[in-house]
Amino acid sequence: MALNYIWIGLFLIGIVFGVAKLIFYGDTNTLPMMMDSTFKMSTEAFEMTLGLTGTLTFWMGMLKVAEDGGIVQKLAKVLSPILTKLFPDIPKDHPALGSIFMNYSANMLGLDNAATPVGLKAMQELQTLNPHKDTASNSMIMFLVLNTSGLTIIPVSIMAYRSKYGAVDPTDIFIPMLLATTCSSIIGLTAVGLKQGINLFNRTMLFTLLCIGIFVAGLFTLMHGLSTADIQAYSRVMTACVILGVISIFLIAGLKMKINVYSSFIEGAKGGFNVAVTLIPYCVAILAAVGIFRESGALLMLMNGITNLVEACGFNSDWVGALPVAIMKPLSGPGARGMMLQCFDSYGVDSFIGHLSSVLQGCTDTTFYILAIYFGSVGIRKYRHAVSCGLLADISGMVAAIIFSYVFFT
């Protein structure tokens, strides 16, 4: 229900602001701009979903090959001692565990095109275990909140934008962003764990976190001192190696199992188009509401109000200039990216606001978009505590981003 009220609120608040500007200020431009935004954002949502169709079709086909070739089952068996601690409702060796692991791995490496189809496959498998088909299960909520917390180790796209705008060191946001997104993930994990009564402080989980920490430290050591061009080159090569390596493993596994790999791929790929079509109304709903809210001027007024409040309390308000990125990020990835680029134009890419907006862009993910497409793909209507825990992770990541940006860039 939380998403329902937030969605209605974005529309109604925007409309009230637009009408008020017409009545009290004679502004005849805002309401037409709001109306135009509904058409523009609806078209953008459709085109974005349509653009995802090819990727979904391909990866759904490859995942079917992996499933028939026994890869998903083997991954589930190997990872069950770890993942069953976080997902106690999932039976040991269930294929959902393998899909969940592949999704998290793709997200951490910044492989968005691969992460989304794998995540949708994981949701379909989790839905088979769900006794209440219209209500999110505990496992679905844990899976989604860890997705929305946005743990990404290599923020290549943000570094590329900073380089394009002439940053002296486009990679200097790497450490504060990693720290902020780690805080977001830990808070999200803890919130869901407490809500669901999961013991997160067992030896298996602590050992897993230690291994992740060692991996991150090793990656940082490898990247330290490299130029932006080198980091981007290594990232592209690593991405290509990972993607092509995964495809090769899937195909070889299919051959070893003596299945008809081509037929298996076609069978899985047929579902990709159906999934993409299912996602269209959810994307349209979210982006249309965001467009109304933004064009009405409510976002700008909210930002000004927070600035005045912070200054009245005697606190430093420098960070408020990057607030539009923080507000837009849970709602729209492209919208938040646009706000970040506006910060670069207005304040400078190497200014405090330029750095902070970069860290905010990478510290969390698009919570409402993820909830809409993942839950929408399996017909979930009752989200339970997914929205509250996801937003708590977002807010924690944003607060951490502000704190670490002050530490590193002032």
> How confident is the model at residue 178, as a pLDDT?
81
pLDDT of residue 19: 93
Considering Cα of 80, then 247, then 174, then 286, what sign does the dihedral take? negative
- Residue % of the chain over a pLDDT of 70: 88
pLDDT tier for residue 220 given thresholds of 50, 70 and 90? low
Per-residue pLDDT band at 45 (split at 50, 70, 90): confident
Per-residue pLDDT reduced to its tens digit, 50-99: 766 777 788 778 878 887 888 877 776 776 777 778 888 888 878 888 78
Handedness of CA 277, 278, 283, 284 (dihedral sign): positive
Supply the DSSP string of 140-202, one letter for each residue. HHHHHHHHHTT--S--HHHHHHHHHTT-S-GGGGHHHHHHHHHHHHHHHHHHHHHHHT----S
Residue at token pair 């467009």: 291
Distance (Å, whole) CA 367 – CA 372: 9
Does residue 393 contact residue 195 with C-beta atoms inside 8 Å? no
Top-confidence residue, 110 or 48: 48
Q: Whole-model pTM?
A: 0.73
Give per-residue pLDDT as tens, 238-296: 667 777 888 898 899 999 998 999 999 998 888 777 777 777 887 788 778 888 988 89
Identity of the amino acid at 167: A
Does pLDDT of 218 surpass 90? Answer: no
pLDDT above 90 covers a percentage of the chain that reads 17
Per-chain mean pLDDT for the chain: 82
Which one has a higher pLDDT value, 227 or 351?
351
Q: What is the pLDDT of residue 104?
A: 78
pLDDT, mean of residues 16-27: 91
Q: How confident is the model at residue 15 (pLDDT cuts 50, 70, 90)?
A: very high
Amino acid at 252: I
Higher pLDDT, 35 or 299: 35
Residue 150 has pLDDT above 90, yes or no: no
Q: Is the pLDDT of residue 4 over 70?
A: yes
What's residue 13's pLDDT?
Answer: 92
Using alpha carbons only, what angle is made at residue 94 by residues 89 and 96, rounded to the nearest 5 degrees?
80
Tell me the per-residue pLDDT of 368-410, one tens digit each, with 9 for 90 and over.
Answer: 878 888 888 888 988 888 989 999 999 999 999 998 888 888 7
Contact between residue 60 and residue 271 where contact means Cβ atoms under 8 Å apart = yes
The C-alpha atoms of residue 371 and residue 67 are separated, in whole angstroms, by 25
Per-residue pLDDT, 357: 92
- Torsion angles phi and psi, residue 354, rounded to 5: -60, -45
